Amino acid sequence: MTVYRVLYRGSLSSCNYECGYCPLAKTRNTRDELQQDAHQVERFVDWVATAGRSLGILFTPWGEAVVHPHYRRALVRLSRMPHVQRVAIQTNLSGHLDDFSSAGRNALAFWATYHPTQTTLARFIRQCRKLEEMRLRYSVGVVGLRENFDTIAELRRRLPPDVYLWINCFKNDPRYYRADDLSFLREIDPYVDLNRVDYPSRGATCRAGDSVFSVDGHGNVRPCHFVDRQIGNIYRDNIFALLAPRTCPNVTCECHIGYVHRPDLDLYWLFGDNVLERIPAGWPLVQPAFTQARTAVGSARCPCQEK
Ligand code: SF4
Ligand code: SF4
């Protein structure tokens, strides 16, 4: 049975953290904006309840959502729906986690990120322990800046071995990492090379727009967050009838939440049912076939290098 994977990004655009590299740092939504976002999220959850399909849902907010009660309520409610195979959220893990004690353990998972300039390692690990006590699964991501390497090593030591720690590579300068830097990063994250690449994508076959789609706060559907072509609207259309195989119009696909859905990269095989929360199936078992970037595959499908 097809599991449709939905990437939801509503109107939220604020964060309680102030990471120097992030455009959302120091942004705040007004009370009215938050109320509108809460209404949109609730409407989306109501739609999921009646969608009649097997679904996986990843919340990819602009900013931090778990600090807001309406997202916590939505996650718990979705996790308890029998046809929701998975519901996950990208979060800095700073919010109240106790609300998840009544969540469906099989469905709910977290794509957590650690931000060393914004919180202490001790506090972040305490939040991780809470998830473990509730038997909720999570991955942890951290930006692979060289000045973070000691912290990354300590984070790896303090996380349980069965928690996948992934590195968000710095890609702006191809000479940024020395050979010994890459050796270190590969010890932490054997799959780090997969995200050192901007995958050529124009003309590539992609599940986005077919079994994967992006939904905004108004219910508008696009193939993914990076392709601005509206397919329909979940509140107006039978969206499942409008989905179909498509090819990518963009020159490159640069973000895991996009390229993970490219059939030619075969990453569903690596992540299995955990594709939304970014946990490799069978982790900490490492799949050697995936420890190198899949550039050969991407280049073969789409040779244009126009970037
Ligand atoms: S926690 Fe994430 S969204 Fe918030 S400021 Fe940092 S990078 Fe941006
Ligand atoms: S390859 Fe990436 S950018 Fe292109 S449609 Fe797929 S997810 Fe979107």
Q: Please, which pLDDT band fits residue 303 given cuts at 50, 70 and 90?
A: very low
Which one is predicted more confidently, 296 or 96? Answer: 96
Q: Tell the residue nearest (CA) to atom 3 of ligand 2.
A: 253
Q: Which of 214, 262, 276 to mutate to test the pocket of ligand 2 (most atoms within 8 A of CB)?
A: 262
Ligand nearest to the CA of 5: 2
The whole-number pLDDT of residue 295 equals: 53
Q: What's the pLDDT tens digit per position in 194-247?
A: 999 999 999 999 999 999 999 999 999 999 999 999 999 999 999 999 999 999
* Index of the ligand 2 atom closest to the CA of residue 206: 6
Top-tier CATH class for 3-301: alpha beta
* For residue 272, pLDDT beyond 60: yes
The share of the chain scoring above pLDDT 90, in percent, equals 89
The whole-number pLDDT of residue 294 equals: 63
Q: What's the pLDDT tens digit per position in 157-179?
A: 999 999 999 999 988 888 999 99
* For residue 297, pLDDT beyond 80: no
Q: What's the pLDDT tens digit per position in 111-123?
A: 999 999 999 999 9
* For residue 300, pLDDT beyond 70: no
DSSP secondary structure letter of residue 98? G
Mean pLDDT of 265-273: 96
* Index of the ligand 1 atom closest to the CA of residue 18: 5
The whole-number pLDDT of residue 20 equals: 85
Number of Cβ atoms within 10 Å of the Cβ of 75: 28
How many whole angstroms from 187 Cα to the centroid of ligand 1? 26
Contacts of residues 238-247 at CB distance under 8 Å and 24 or more positions apart, as own/partner, are 239/213, 240/4, 240/53, 243/4, 243/209, 243/210, 243/211, 243/213, 244/209, 244/210, 245/205, 245/209, 245/210, 246/205, 246/206, 246/208, 246/209, 246/210, 247/203, 247/204, 247/205, 247/206
Mean pLDDT of 89-106: 97
Bond preceding residue 23 cis, omega within 30 of 0:
no
Q: Tell the residue nearest (CA) to atom 8 of ligand 2.
A: 224
Q: Please, which pLDDT band fits residue 307 given cuts at 50, 70 and 90?
A: very low
Q: Pocket around ligand 1: residues whose beta carbon is below 6 Å from it?
A: 15, 17-19, 22, 24-25, 63-64, 92, 115
* For residue 258, pLDDT beyond 90: yes
* Index of the ligand 1 atom closest to the CA of residue 25: 5
How many whole angstroms from 135 Cα to the centroid of ligand 2? 33
The whole-number pLDDT of residue 211 equals: 98
Q: Tell the residue nearest (CA) to atom 8 of ligand 1.
A: 22
The whole-number pLDDT of residue 86 equals: 98
Mean pLDDT of 128-134: 98
The whole-number pLDDT of residue 64 equals: 96
Ligand nearest to the CA of 228: 2
* Index of the ligand 1 atom closest to the CA of residue 63: 3
Q: What is the mean pLDDT of the chain?
A: 93
Tell me the domain boundaries of the chain: 3-301
The whole-number pLDDT of residue 174 equals: 86
